[in-house]
Structure 1
Amino acid sequence: MDTAVRFPTTPKAIRARPLTLCARMNVEKAFQAIMRNCLDQIEANEHGVVKYHDVESLHQMRVGLRRLRSALGMFDEVLSLPVALRQELDWLVSQLGPARDWDVLAGSTLARIAGTVDADTQLVRVQHAAADQAVALHAVAGAAVVSERYQNLIGSLERWHDERGWRAMQLPADRVRLKLRIGDFAKGILEKDQQRLLKRGRKLKGADPAARHRVRIAAKKTRYAAEFFASLYPQKTVRPYVRALGRLQDELGLMNDASVADRLLRELSESNDEIKVGAGFLRGYLASHVRQGGCKLRKLWKRFVALGAPG
């Protein structure tokens, strides 16, 4: 008889499955495939968020939500999610976002700093305080995902997808566009996203956090579009494009993490006198590194611009 004690293990966080669209698909069927892919990613991470308060499961659920909202934005000209469901999606994002912000601060941003400076009691206190905040907010996120409100939201999205609920709200011209091949539609989306990103990126040099954040959001939406439609284009062109976008987005993400960290550290220091000194040092450290990161960001931007959009 096997008498070994078995402990439950944290489930593996689920990333988005590879998505393959067929060039013969019409716009409506392509949207259904994309939305199904996003919903699968969201729902696959429920268990990790609710039962284990798993950091990576929460992250992947948020990625799924961002991808879904991005897809809805891309197809908004031909189909539209009801306002009530959009508001419920916003609610869910608001329940998951704070926990992720504190996860990044405690587990990534402060961990990187701790590896480059001499550890002292002040810094350790800040790390512990940030980790405590993350734990508390994971409980909030888990409660949201297990709630009846969440179940109603997911059920409504599933029905809207399966029953093609957008048809009830469409004009005749929109129905015609839904029957067109996905290729021309995808090309238009990618060109539009590329132009928006290029326009925002021209002001990267000397940009403040708000301007960089706008570039980051544009880069993220462009990357999601490129990944959704990647199977429609030659891999030798789409892969370098997505890779360059990813590197640009990562660097912009690190800068945004520093900006968010500054806000969270300020909140911590205002509510806890014992960590004011440590929080103040960390805010100064992060501000210095953001200034130094501008050169790398500009190089990544130039590499991305040189590639051009696939198609």
Structure 2
Amino acid sequence: MRRRFRAQCLQGGMCNMDTAVKFPTTPKAIRARALELSARMSVEKAFQAIVRNCLDQIEANETGVIKYHDVESLHQMRVGLRRLRSALGMFDEVLSLPVALRQELDWLVSQLGPARDWDVLAGSTLPRITNTLDADAPLVRVQHAAADKAMALHAAAGAAIASERYQNLIGNLERWFDERGWRAMQLPADKVKLKMRIGDFARDILEKDQQRLLKRGRKLKGADPETRHRVRIAAKKTRYAAEFFASLYPRKTVRPYVKALASLQDELGLMNDASVADGLLRQLSEGDEELKDGTGFLRGYLASHSRQGDGKLRKLWKRFVPLRTPG
């Protein structure tokens, strides 16, 4: 019943105003709520709290994506999806999501990713360049073409979120979650692990993620885009784990750690945006001869400034201090 009512609201059906959420004219993108875990929680209880937190963030941004094609709502839905996939990966050794649901999550990623990439190009990367230059006609044409592409992909993303396929995905995820479907697929040893307290499990996850990041980070000097991308992914996973388990550690210890990870991830993200932008600009030029001059200039500009960012990235890496987890 809950899913049927919700689907009708999302698809424009009549909702009981006593129970339906009233959305403002301008949508408000929903970030993840602060997550509070207790050291006395079992691994299973902590997993439930984390997944519920991620699902809430995803579902809370549906209306902004469907009805308003809102840039920030789509971004926050995508963040919630990335957090969910990261959480599922963290707990994969003791419980597993059915393969069919994993494949549907991959489909959802493919529906949101392109719109976000073009949003960043049209709304962030290009304005950052043109604000420092004279916006001549070739660059303006590229900006307009990128904005048109972003708008079209937002419409496609909204249609995907309003679709029956998405509704089935969320409904099946909620059912698997509510019925604790992972228990049916577990070995006896896994069931024992789920009853353990979360502290030891969290420490092992943080140490493993941090070691992966440190290993990849040693290759940052003079790194190519693919190597930087691997470091960015490792930093993102480590940051998500640190945020999930932050309430288990002293605030004065974990906050600077998460802040340092965020700064590192942001800088790596900017460099990755430039790499992604190069591919998107190439797509634009292939589809329209009038855009070749503008896209060619912008690709050269991005390549030049990308190399200049290496120094700042190395400084951020040197400032990164690994978290010491009590053993």
How far 1:9 moved relative to its partner? 2.6
One-letter code of the match for 1:116? T
2:258 corresponding residue in structure 1 = 242
CA displacement, residues 140-168 of structure 1 (integer Å, 9 cap, x when unaligned) = 10010000000000011111111110000
Please say if 1:106 is aligned against 2:106: no
Structure 1 runs (4+) greater than 6 angstroms displaced: none
Matching residue within 58, 61, 75 for 1:59: 75
2:159 corresponding residue in structure 1 = 143
Q: Is the 8 A contact 2:210 2:322 kept in 1?
A: no
| Residues 284, 234 of structure 1: alpha-carbon distance in 2 compared, 3 angstrom cutoff | same
One-letter code of the match for 2:136? D
2:19 corresponding residue in structure 1 = none
CA displacement, residues 160-214 of structure 1 (integer Å, 9 cap, x when unaligned) = 1111100000000000000000000000000000000001111000110011000
CA displacement, residues 49-91 of structure 1 (integer Å, 9 cap, x when unaligned) = 0000000000000000000000000000000000000000000
Aligned-partner Cα distance in 2 for 1:219–1:9: 37
Q: Is the 8 A contact 1:42 1:60 kept in 2?
A: yes
Aligned-partner Cα distance in 1 for 2:178–2:70: 30
Q: Is the 8 A contact 1:194 1:309 kept in 2?
A: no
Aligned-partner Cα distance in 2 for 1:68–1:243: 21
1:153 corresponding residue in structure 2 = 169
Matching residue within 206, 209, 214 for 2:222: 206
Matching residue within 116, 120, 123 for 2:139: 123
CA displacement, residues 114-151 of structure 1 (integer Å, 9 cap, x when unaligned) = 11111100110000000000000001100100000000
2:285 corresponding residue in structure 1 = 269
Superposition pairs of residues 34-113 of structure 1, within 5 angstroms: 34-113=50-129
1:3 corresponding residue in structure 2 = none
One-letter code of the match for 2:198? I
TM-score (norm 2): 0.92
DSSP 3-state at the match of 1:289: helix
Q: Is the 8 A contact 2:254 2:323 kept in 1?
A: no
Give 5+ residue unaligned stretches, structure 2.
1-23
Aligned-partner Cα distance in 2 for 1:162–1:27: 16
One-letter code of the match for 1:146? A
Please say if 1:23 is aligned against 2:46: no
Q: Is the 8 A contact 2:278 2:299 kept in 1?
A: yes
1:252 corresponding residue in structure 2 = 268
| Residues 276, 160 of structure 1: alpha-carbon distance in 2 compared, 3 angstrom cutoff | same
What percent of counterpart residues are identical? 84
1:11 corresponding residue in structure 2 = 27
One-letter code of the match for 2:289? D
Give 5+ residue unaligned stretches, structure 1.
1-7
One-letter code of the match for 2:75? H
1:308 corresponding residue in structure 2 = 323
Matching residue within 179, 187, 191 for 1:175: 191
DSSP 3-state at the match of 1:70: helix
Aligned-partner Cα distance in 2 for 1:198–1:117: 38
2:236 corresponding residue in structure 1 = 220
Count of residue pairs the alignment pairs up: 303
Q: Is the 8 A contact 2:62 2:161 kept in 1?
A: yes
Aligned-partner Cα distance in 1 for 2:179–2:231: 36
